[in-house]
Structure 1
């Protein structure tokens, strides 16, 4: 009889997390640290980022924080370089940085949409390249996890074409990078696509009674997800427990995309 696998631990490994100043990014950073990884965290809001760093250190973890704008390739490299300088390696990248807004496409501002795509899609690409180069040079493989959304697979009740396009694009980025790097370099690349979870982005919906009711009505499990329900999926993709998973999208949405 096979026992419960211990491969979910990340002891001795180094993870980089973007968009880690609050919400899911901060949760992912704390989770990876609790699993044994040293964590380099990046986000634009330096003060909030420092708060997350201190909380990880207070819990006995290892963490460095670097103010990072993923739309700037030099800042992407600086975050990865900080991890290498501190600990000599990068094993896991969680591409979590993202922005969002709702707007009808015919009324949307092209400049605003371009800015969203620059952060959500181009930023993720630039971070993946920066981390991927380090992983390739080290020759130890690694794991890249692109945080997308169930909205990359289906339409929501709020019109947000630019956001949905960026998240669908992340899934395409995942597949191509997996094809390039998994077999040749042992770098697994996957997408984690959450459905509705309480966060800064979903706060306006949670405060809107009818919007909340409409969203929940489409979720077979009948509720928003809890951040802790992303812990297992993230660790699966980050760790040796998911060593045979690459190029795929893991949707954690309470069944929402079935509709």
Structure 2
């Protein structure tokens, strides 16, 4: 049965930024497909809610409240998975972000911070996870969540877009180094209806602009990204590595302009 290829029964996944939004949806999708999950974010109450939903699906969740701006904390999640579940198969680097800012207001320090949060911390977790994946599972899969703004030119995204573009190419480079035993892929979402987008989606005019400028004329849902992640980590995606999936509604230009004046 083709649907059997989407099962990951008995596997263990680490998902960062899993208290809400994309990370929570990914953790729940993995649990529904048969995996136990280590879920990490800053807010314990949110993680506990996700853990309850995981357990309602018949799987186990290990909650790790942690500030993932700390590379050592990120790396520690791999050890936590093996200590709790005796194995590690999957890593999803979902946490990340940076606030929009005009180019000339974006300091070198802000650019460095965006790179550290989106790329260096992901690398810290990958470095810690790979030996444990090989030791406990023999092989596995890593997914990095990038962004459509890593490839689309839009004003005010110098830090965020540059960091996400770097993460996308890091994904390709890591895939080359870790093949054939560990597959590394990425997902570059477009506009997804999470709490981070509420301020935009709650404004009728801005939501209309988002939808109108998206070829599919709709905003994505977290489950759209969760489905892509499950495909990449499951046997259904076993012939992909070093690739970036683009569930973005067909974007070829940004679908929400930040109104900055010309120089």
Q: Same fold (TM over 0.5)?
A: yes
Give distance in 1, aligned partners of 2:116 and 2:33: 31
Pick from 225, 233, 241 the counterpart of residue 236 of structure 2: 241
Give distance in 2, aligned partners of 1:155 and 1:127: 29
**Residue 10 of structure 2 contacts residue 35 of structure 2 at CA under 8 Å; is this kept in 1?**
yes
Count how many residue pairs are aligned between Structure 1 and Structure 2.
Answer: 254
Q: Does 1:159 align with 2:156?
A: yes
Instruction: Give the ranges of 4+ consecutive aligned residues of structure 1 lying more than 6 Å apart after TM superposition.
Output: none
Taking the TM superposition and a 5 Å limit, the aligned residue runs for 1:83-162 are: 83-138=81-136, 140-156=138-154, 159-162=156-159
**1:201 Cα shift?**
2.2
SS across alignment from 1:252 = coil
**1:139 Cα shift?**
6.0
SS across alignment from 2:132 = helix
Taking the TM superposition and a 5 Å limit, the aligned residue runs for 1:1-259 are: 3-138=1-136, 140-156=138-154, 159-183=156-180, 186-257=181-252
Give distance in 2, aligned partners of 1:138 and 1:180: 19
TM-score between both structures, scaled by the size of structure 1: 0.91
**Residue 14 of structure 2 contacts residue 92 of structure 2 at CA under 8 Å; is this kept in 1?**
yes
Give distance in 2, aligned partners of 1:90 and 1:18: 14
Unaligned runs of 5+ in 1: none
**Residue 117 of structure 1 contacts residue 166 of structure 1 at CA under 8 Å; is this kept in 2?**
yes
Unaligned runs of 5+ in 2: 255-263
TM-score between both structures, scaled by the size of structure 2: 0.90
Q: Deviations over 1:90-149 (max 9, x none)?
A: 101111011231111112344444333221111111111111121233461100000011
**Residue 194 of structure 2 contacts residue 221 of structure 2 at CA under 8 Å; is this kept in 1?**
no
Give distance in 2, aligned partners of 1:258 and 1:159: 14
